Amino acid sequence: MGLSIPAILRRLTAIAVFAAVSAFAQTPPATTIVEPPAPLLPTTDKLALPTPEFAVPDDSAQTQTILKEDGLVRTEARVALTPTASQPASGGWVRAYQFIDATGATSAYTYFRQGGRPDRDHPVNATQVQNGDGEVVFLSGVNVVRAKLKLYPESATVLLAQVATGLPKVSGRKALTPLLPTMFPADVSGTKPDLTTLRYSLGPVAYQTMGGQLPPELLGWDKSAEVATAAYSGRSGKGTLTLLIYPTPQVAADRSRAIEQAINARGPATLGTVKLRRVGPLLSLTSGAFAPDQAQKLVEAVHLNEVVTFDQKMPLEFHAEVKKTATLLEEILIFTGILTIAAFVIGIFLGGARAGWRVLHGKPAASEPEFLTINLRDKPKALFTPKAPPTA
């Protein structure tokens, strides 16, 4: 029995679909090659990978938790080698940390510096400090470097400069440094800060480890809180200024009430002289041996420097369109008024000139009958004379 044309077409379509599916199933899946990131630290004749013989101390569990709060991406360590007559010997170690952005790197830097003093003898950059145990720490963009070297100062400087040059560089929003550590007032009525004690925290463990005095659970870390502390010295003694910033003023107001209730329940005397002030999303709090007037002036000296940055064109707001429309209407009215005044001035000038000309020629200035009047008294003349009808 023969097949109809529609049946033949259906069979041909089914065969084509089956062939296409079979060919797709036999095609091997595409392979995606992911290039590994460049190493944080180079491997040279002066920097070698750690070995059991030349080991680098690991970070403690507490330090690892703090680095996780700060957004650690990766870390690498190298052993500094010192050439000798027989074989290289360990000259210390270098460890680098890379974070998501400069905010996390700044927090980790204030944790690692431990109140270290600026290293002005052989600095790699302005952030380099030297701790009491000889460890060098410096900040470079989204990276933090720690080093404990047993080399000559000049050799150590050259080595750290090479390390700083090879660190990953970022741009855009990730490279923006946090504003909160820059909001501490410099000198208020003789109360001066010790910026070597500045600590910047992005999580409860870092805040508590770096000497935070408020209960960490009240600060709203789940709401992207940022906290910075610094020690101040005045005529009545030393104290601490704590700055907290939140994404919105509403969150800051809620945390301000919670902190105030906790301080009142705990007893303000346990924290010394306490003054709390809120400016938008920013909170400032004093504690320690401040005089009451000093503490009040200190919190009032903290100002919020609002900086708006954007990398895309922002849409026009409604009030901007209304303002443009009002400006256009105002310009139209002004232009119309100018034209009206000009018409009056031109009319008066031309009319006065004409009237003066008529007076000079002995004619009345205000009338001109032959020009201004229309004679409607005379009967109009017929345009044609109708003919009489013919008589029979």
State pLDDT tens for residues 280-299.
Answer: 999 999 998 888 888 899 99
Range in 179-188, 311-320, 336-345 with the lowest mean pLDDT: 311-320
User: Is 283 in contact with 254 (CB distance < 8 Å)?
Assistant: no
Single out the residue of 168, 79, 64, 149 nearest to residue 111, CA to CA. 64
Would you say residue 343 lies in a domain?
Answer: no
What per-residue string of b and e applies to 102-124 under the rule 16 or more CB within 10 Å gives b? bbbbbbbbbbbbeebeebeebbb
Question: What is the maximum alpha-carbon separation in the chain?
Answer: 160
Do residue 116 and residue 163 come from a single domain? yes
What is the DSSP annotation of 12-40?
HHHHHHHHHHHHHHHSPPPPPP-PPPPPS
Report whether pLDDT(359) > 80.
Answer: no
Please compute Rg for the chain using Cα positions.
43
User: Is 71 in contact with 224 (CB distance < 8 Å)?
Assistant: no
Do residue 158 and residue 218 come from a single domain? no
Report whether pLDDT(366) > 90.
Answer: no
Do residue 204 and residue 151 come from a single domain? no
Give residue-wise pLDDT tens across range 174-218: 999 999 999 999 888 788 888 889 999 999 999 999 988 899 999
Would you say residue 282 lies in a domain?
Answer: yes
Give residue-wise pLDDT tens across range 59-70: 999 999 999 999
Would you say residue 16 lies in a domain?
Answer: no
Which among 266, 300, 334 is the end of a domain? 300
Do residue 99 and residue 213 come from a single domain? no
For the segment 143-165, the average pLDDT, to the nearest whole number, is: 91
Would you say residue 370 lies in a domain?
Answer: no
Name every residue whose Cβ is closer than 8 Å to that of residue 194 and which is 6 or more positions away in sequence. 230, 231, 232, 233
* Between residues 216 and 26, the one the model is more confident about: 216
Would you say residue 329 lies in a domain?
Answer: no
Q: What pLDDT shows up at residue 237?
A: 81
Distance CA 297, CA 277 (A): 11
Do residue 162 and residue 237 come from a single domain? no
Share of the chain above pLDDT 70, in %: 79
Do residue 112 and residue 187 come from a single domain? no
Do residue 58 and residue 165 come from a single domain? yes
Single out the residue of 107, 165, 100, 157 nearest to residue 128, CA to CA. 157
Q: What pLDDT shows up at residue 28?
A: 59
Do residue 212 and residue 279 come from a single domain? yes
Which among 147, 171, 195 is the end of a domain? 171
Which among 237, 269, 300 is the end of a domain? 300
Q: How confident is the model at residue 371 (pLDDT cuts 50, 70, 90)?
A: low
Q: What pLDDT shows up at residue 315?
A: 52
Would you say residue 383 lies in a domain?
Answer: no
CA distances from 380 to 360, 371, 372, 377, 387 (A): 37, 19, 20, 9, 19
Q: What pLDDT shows up at residue 278?
A: 93
Report whether pLDDT(1) > 60.
Answer: no
Give residue-wise pLDDT tens across range 123-134: 888 899 988 888
Range in 27-36, 152-161, 308-317, 352-361 with the lowest mean pLDDT: 308-317
Would you say residue 206 lies in a domain?
Answer: yes
Report the interhelical angle of 61-69 vs 102-113 (nearest 10°): 150
- In the chain, the number of structural domains is 2
Range in 34-43, 94-103, 190-199, 273-282 with the lowest mean pLDDT: 34-43
* Between residues 383 and 110, the one the model is more confident about: 110
Do residue 159 and residue 262 come from a single domain? no
Would you say residue 156 lies in a domain?
Answer: yes
User: Which residues constitute the domain of residue 239?
Assistant: 180-300
As a whole number, the mean pLDDT across the chain is 83
* Between residues 106 and 23, the one the model is more confident about: 106
Do residue 51 and residue 155 come from a single domain? yes
pTM for this model (two decimals): 0.68
Single out the residue of 255, 300, 305 nearest to residue 275, CA to CA. 300
Single out the residue of 217, 209, 214 nearest to residue 60, CA to CA. 209
Take residue 182 and report the two structure tokens written for it: 């820059």
Do residue 62 and residue 129 come from a single domain? yes
| Alpha-carbon 113 to chain mean position | 25
Do residue 211 and residue 148 come from a single domain? no
User: Is 105 in contact with 142 (CB distance < 8 Å)?
Assistant: yes
